[in-house]
Amino acid sequence: MPLALYDTWSRTVRPFAPIHAGRVGMYCCGPTVYDYAHIGNLRTYVFEDILRRVLMRNGFEVRHVVNITDVGHLTSDADEGEDKMEKGSQRTGQSAWAIARRYTDAFIADWHALHLLEPTVWCRATDHITEQIAFIGELERAGYVYRTGDGLYFDTSKQDDYGYLARLDRAGLHAGKRVALGAKKNATDFALWKFSPPDVRRQMEWESPWGRGFPGWHIECSAMSAKYLGTWFDIHCGGEDHIAVHHNNEIAQTEAAYGTRLANFWLHGHFLTLDTNTKMSKSSGDFIRLQTLQSRSIDPLAYRYLCLTAHYRSNLRFNWASLDGAQTALNRLRHLYSTWPDAGRVHPEFAARFDAEVNEDLNLPRALAVLWELTRSNLPPATLKATVDSFDTVLGLGLHEWKPVVSDIPEDVRVLLSERERARSGRDWERADHIRAALVARGWRVEDSEEGQRLVGIATDQTHVGGG
Ligand code: AMP
Ligand code: ZN
């Protein structure tokens, strides 16, 4: 079953074919690093990681570009308010540059904890000011730019199809006049370059042909995607909030400068919402971080598993009970997996069913159902292992590298286990058996395997290999 993906541009699920045979260029809008990422943001990156892994499973070589927004994203997507970075600097008392570094590092740590594959290119907005200025120059030459007292703006009235991605009702927007225009000509016009106020030195500002200032938020993505993927590439992703403003504006810029609508497929992940059905947002301040989960002894990969249980185009309502459920399911899978031997072969029918699900617009909930059905089948354990291993190239749960946490074993049990190990190496079988009985009395069954003693919690079914 060939890969088909839902494309927001056409509002249809359509077959995926790359622009260049065998290769896929994919650009994902990354974090604004004025604060930590919350688990809502991370849901979007998990979806994008799954997409990348599914593309790879279909044999494509993926060039994956992720940007880091470290300047220019104002508190309102409509180019009003303060720069989020300068605001973060006021909040923390650190320089805008220092917080950009700090939150970028924190973000990349979350990235790795969730087993997200390393992008081919990470690119920072502040490292690409020259490219952004050059891009604005192209737009100016093409006649799309006008100047106001506070910056350069893109004139959206010059494009008949502006806003098509979001199916924007431009006439309605103008008639309603609900948006404060300021010096803008049209409600949908957006900043390309903002001037520094004449009497203020901003922490982040650059000289440009138009005056000292900083780039608008949207131009970085058009400029950096053009640099790393070209002006017509395969897939552009982000969260659903980007459809209305940010992605329309990226398309407007690239179309004005290069005549393409940037990407062939536009994919958007739906939001993680709170139990109250409100969206989790950084600016509201009440957000849950990956660290918040870790401080409650929840594994980041349990959160990854939870993300897989909902289709990326449906909202996922977060609550602690479902996260606990995800942790339990993941633990069960890990313990099952750790009991299966190597050297099996992938089961072709189960693999085909799994592929059909993931290729049908990334239906991971149904792919997980195939996995659980497989674990309940009576296929040889080595076949189960090989097949689950192959599924895990998409799921990214790291099953093969998981090791039981030895610290879960109570101290007295650990002492008994090492005594038994000594008895076994001294060939004192009677004593080894005696200790085995003592362990059973404490709720642990010990089995002797090639890797050493395998400890199984009788009540919990927890397995610990090589304990003691
Ligand atoms: P930001 O750091 O605010 O620029 O957002 C980073 C990414 O997270 C973007 O792709 C957003 O669309 C996405 N995002 C923001 N809030 C949520 C949420 N509650 N659930 C899922 N994705 C989100
Ligand atoms: Zn972007």
Ligand 1 atom with the shortest distance to the CA of 272: 20
Q: Which ligand lies nearest the alpha carbon of 243?
A: 1
Q: pLDDT-derived band of residue 459, with 50, 70 and 90 as boundaries?
A: low
- What confidence score (pLDDT) does residue 395 get? 98
Sign of the CA dihedral running 276, 363, 110, 464: positive
The tokens describing 457, both together, are 């919690």
Using the mean position of ligand 2's atoms as its centre, give its distance from the Cα of residue 28 in Å.
7
- CA 421 to ligand 1 centroid distance, Å: 51
72 CB near ligand 1 (under 6 Å): no
Q: How far is CA 77 from the centre of its chain?
A: 21
Is the CB–ligand 1 distance for residue 254 below 6 Å?
no
Neighbouring CB atoms inside 10 A of 298's CB total 18
129-141 helix and 217-229 helix, angle to the nearest 10 degrees = 100
Q: What is the pLDDT of residue 76?
A: 72
- The answer to whether the annotation marks 28 as part of a ligand binding site is no
Q: Is the distance from the beta carbon of residue 103 to the nearest atom of ligand 1 less than 6 Å?
A: no
User: Which of 55-69, 99-113, 391-405 bottoms out in mean pLDDT, i.e. has the lowest?
Assistant: 391-405
Distance 74 CA to ligand 2 centre (A): 14
For residue 283, pLDDT over 70 is answered with no
pLDDT at 463: 60
Least confident of 56-65, 84-93, 274-283: 274-283
Say how far apart CA 452 and CA 138 lie, in whole Å: 67
Which residues make Cβ contacts (< 8 Å) with residue 393, sequence separation at least 6? 53, 56, 57
Q: Is 43 in the pocket of ligand 1 (CB under 6 A)?
A: yes
176-180, Cβ contacts within 8 angstroms, sequence gap of 24 or more: 179/78, 180/80
Mean per-residue pLDDT of the chain:
91
Q: Residue 241 CA: which ligand 1 atom is closest?
A: 12
Give the ligand with the smallest distance to the CA of 249.
2
Q: What's the pLDDT tens digit per position in 302-354?
A: 999 999 999 999 999 999 999 999 999 999 999 899 989 999 999 999 999 99
Phi, psi of 219 (to 5 degrees): -65, -30
Question: Identity (one letter) of the amino acid at 406?
Answer: V
- Residue of 41, 288, 290 with the most ligand 1 atoms within 8 Å of its CB, for mutation: 41
**409, pLDDT greater than 80:** no
* CATH number of 4-269, picked from 3.30.465.10, 3.40.50.2300, 3.40.50.620, 3.40.920.10: 3.40.50.620
Does 236 sit in the ligand 1 pocket, CB within 6 Å? no
Cα 11 to ligand 2 centroid, rounded to whole Å: 20
At 301, the pLDDT band (50, 70, 90 cuts) reads very high
Please tell me the number of the ligand nearest to residue 236's CA.
2
For ligand 2, the distance from its centroid to the CA atom of residue 58, given in whole angstroms, is: 26
| Cα 30 to ligand 1 centre (Å) | 8
Picking from 407-421, 425-439, 442-456, which range would have the lowest pLDDT averaged per residue? 442-456
pLDDT value at residue 366: 98
Say if ligand 1 is within 6 A of residue 334 CB: no
Q: Is residue 467's pLDDT more than 50?
A: no
Sequence-distant (6+) residues with CB within 8 A of 429 are 423
Cα-flanking dihedrals φ and ψ of residue 354, to 5°?
A: -60, -45
Q: What is the pLDDT of residue 412?
A: 85
**Ligand 1 center from residue 41 Cα (angstroms):** 4
Question: pLDDT category, 468, cuts 50, 70, 90?
Answer: very low
Residue of 304, 329, 352, 305 lying closest to 114 (CA atoms) = 304
Give φ, ψ of 123 to 5 degrees: -135, 130
CATH class of the region 290-401: mainly alpha
Say which ligand is closest to the CA of 35: 1
250 is in an annotated binding site: yes
Ligand 1 atom nearest the C-alpha of 37 is: 2
Atom 9 of ligand 1: nearest residue by CA position: 239
Q: Which residue has the tokens 């098509």?
A: 164
- The stretches of 78-119 forming alpha helices (DSSP H) are 84-92, 96-113
What residues contact 254, with CB distance under 8 A and at least 6 apart? 222, 225, 226, 231, 260, 261, 262
Instruction: Write out pLDDT tens, residues 69-116.
Output: 998 788 776 677 778 888 888 888 889 899 999 999 999 999 999 999
Any binding-site annotation on 246? yes
With a 6 A CB cut-off, is 242 part of the ligand 1 pocket? yes
Please tell me the predicted confidence (pLDDT) of residue 464: 61
pTM: 0.86
- Lowest model confidence (mean pLDDT) among 54-58, 61-65, 454-458, 460-464: 460-464
| 129-179 pLDDT, tens digit each | 999 999 999 999 999 999 999 999 999 999 999 999 999 987 766 654 545
Write down the domain spans for the chain: 4-269, 290-401, 411-467
Q: How far is the CA of 180 from the centre of ligand 2 (A)?
A: 24
Percent of the chain's residues with pLDDT above 70: 91
User: Is residue 280 lining ligand 1, measured as CB closer than 6 Å?
Assistant: yes
Nearest protein CA to atom 11 of ligand 1, as residue: 239
Q: What is the pLDDT of residues 184-230, one digit of tens each?
A: 999 999 999 999 988 888 899 999 999 999 999 999 999 999 999 99
